[in-house]
Amino acid sequence: MSSGLDLSETSGTAPSKTAIIYLRVSTADQATRGGREEGFSIPAQREANTRKATSLNAIIVEEFVDAGESGTSAAKRPELQRMLAYVREHRVDYCIVHKLDRLARSRADDVSIHFALKQAGVTLVSTSENIGETPSGMLMHGIMSSIAEFYSRNLANEVTKGLVQKASVGGTVSRAPLGYRNIHVADELGRVNRTVEIDTERAHLITWAFYRYSEGDPTLRTLLDELTARGLTTRPTPKYPARPLLTTTLHKILRNSYYKGEVKYRGVSYPGLHEPLVDPETWQRVQDLLSSHNVAGTHQRTNNHYLRGSVYCGTCGSKLMVTTASNRWGTKYLYFVCSGRTRKLTDCQRQAMSYEKIAELIEEEYRTIALSPELRDDIEELVLQDFDELQAGSADDRKLLEAQRVELTTQRNKLLEAHYAGAIPLDLLKSEQNRIASQLMKISDQLSGLDANFERARSVLADTLDLSRDCFTAYLQADDSTRRLFNQAFFARIYVDEDDETREQTIRVDYNEPFDSLLSRLIPTELYDRLNRNNTTLASIVTDSPTVVSEGQGSQTSTLVGAKGLEPLTCWL
């Protein structure tokens, strides 16, 4: 900005030279200190530079101010770049700075800036240092530039050491994330400490977001809509007002381990001193859900069809994609199309297939997944026996797990001590921390399992086994998100085949383990046929059919295997 200063009154004679001045402070706090628009340093630099221009009998024709810009990189300072462009287009005699380190804190930047000024015929002048074009002045210039670079690098190292030390004791080394506020607290000796406190306006909404998302049904988009409706916004700043969050911001919040009580600095995690907004178990459950959005090759969408990602073309094996078509009255219909054909990855010629038709075929597939009353009771008896054994042995297991947790915690503390002493590099510290954190999480999960309410587990087991006697009915009554979980649990892939002549569609499935092994010996081929023919459930067929073990035959028999199968049931069953 042009200063418009006329120095003829102060010098007594009309100025015969022109000058520009460059002013800079490193931080935004310096630029606004004391509630002033330019703080204190910039006006002081301007006053010193103006006196220097007067002594040189020069008039200041332009002023360039980088407020809150670091001197370590010339390319990132907009006003400096504007100044260099200005001297290329205008005649200027002097470029006046308060000190050389205002212009550059890097020897390389200093050389390039000085060269650009010299090429434009501009003499660099410092109000605080005796530099010039003489040999001694050039020597002084080089020495002062090197000192500025040393100061900058040494300061950066000292700041990093201080931040590492602060993080190691659990302090927050950066701007507090949403839900917290940075504050300054004075101790009894009057020393000011920078710390964080709970933002009462937003913290409860952040906590609610974690627990709401951990329920498994909302997408990031729907969760964001709910949070916005509840009033969650960003923190207002002097430059920007408060505004609703973006989806990417919400995703970063849910991924931030700070909310479970951790501080991360330079890739290393430390136990934080701040109050967590969510417990570690819920935080981990949210991470698992965020990572599981790619299960079956799907991403969360607002219109998320529950069969998406589970159904494949029976001809070429490519995934089937959901598409929408509308008739002339605007009615929309869902179809499956082969991704191999659509993307020209295969030579498949399969036409579009009705989404509803395939959904009905999958519903019918669930008629074949059921437990007979006898098998249901046998499974319950065996699992309850395991419950009793687990409950009896849980005390010894707990002691062992607690000892392992203490040992891992001790290892982590020794790692940090060795890192502070310079005995191990940062990359090794990170990898070891990740290993220990993973093992501690597993131990925590196992301890939580030991703490489980066995009576509640018995009740859940009974309800689940009752439900499994007729998976078809349970599937029909489930909502779309639960149906997706049904399909992902039972089926590795669902293939849709089509008769070339009649175009009649059928499905075949690849079961996930353990259902693949279990169902192959529980449901013979003949029963599959009877199910499809009679439109009934497996439970009703088993009730009316004799239970016979056919000696020397495998899964493709015409009789149902006995309730305990060909081999003893395993503990998971």
Burial bucket for residue 130 (CB in 10 Å: 0-12, 13-18, 19+): exposed
Tokens of 530: 């009877």
Question: Cα separation of 205 and 202, whole Å?
Answer: 5
Highest mean pLDDT among 12-26, 80-94, 513-527: 80-94
CA torsion through residues 445, 266, 177, 253, sign: negative
Write down the pTM of the prediction.
Answer: 0.42
DSSP state of 6: -
Contacts of 243 (CB under 8 A, 6+ apart): 233, 234
Please list, in sequence order, all residues whose beta carbon lies within 8 angstroms of the beta carbon of residue 515, skipping any fewer than 6 positions away.
Answer: 369, 489, 490
Annotate 410-462 with DSSP letters as a single string: HHHHHHHHHHHTTSS-HHHHHHHHHHHHHHHHHHHHHHHHHTS-HHHHHHHHH
Model pLDDT for residues 20-62, shown as the tens digit of each residue: 999 988 765 654 554 444 445 788 889 999 999 999 999 999 9
- The pLDDT of residue 293: 62
Closest CA to 212 of 230, 238, 198: 230
482-509 pLDDT, tens digit per residue, is 888 888 888 889 999 998 888 899 999 9
What residue type is 181 in one-letter code?
R
Distance of alpha carbon 365 from alpha carbon 360, whole angstroms: 9
Tokens representing residue 474 in the block: 């349970």
Report, as an integer, the average pLDDT of 544-566. 38
Q: At what angle do helices 247-255 and 203-214 cross, to 10 degrees?
A: 80
Cα–Cα distance between 65 and 46 in angstroms, integer? Answer: 10
**Radius of gyration of the chain from Cα atoms?**
36
131 burial type by CB count under 10 A (0-12 exposed, 13-18 middle, 19+ buried): buried
Residue 565 has pLDDT above 50, yes or no: no
Question: Which residue, 320, 99, 292, is CA-closest to 213?
Answer: 292
More confident residue, 223 or 35: 223
Place of tokens 């079961």: 511
CA nearest to 104, candidates 72, 147, 80: 72
pLDDT of the residue at 342? 87
Paired sense of beta strands 17-25 and 268-271, if any: unpaired
Lowest mean pLDDT among 112-126, 246-260, 335-349, 466-480: 466-480
Question: In what side-by-side order are the strands of the sheet with 491-498?
Answer: 311-313, 491-498, 505-511
What's the pLDDT at 174? 82
* Measured torsion, CA atoms of residues 176, 182, 188, 189, in degrees rounded to the nearest 10: 90
Residue 299 CA to residue 323 CA, distance in Å, equals: 16
Report the range of poorest mean pLDDT among 88-97, 134-143, 234-243. 134-143
Q: Give the DSSP H/E element, type plus range, for residue 70.
A: none
Rounded to the nearest integer, the mean pLDDT of the chain is 76
Distance CA 442, CA 334 (A): 43
Q: What is the DSSP string of 125-150?
A: EESSS---SSHHHHHHHHHHHHHHHH
HSE-CB at 496 with a 13 A cutoff on CA atoms is: 29
Reply yes or no on whether the pLDDT at 383 is more than 70. yes
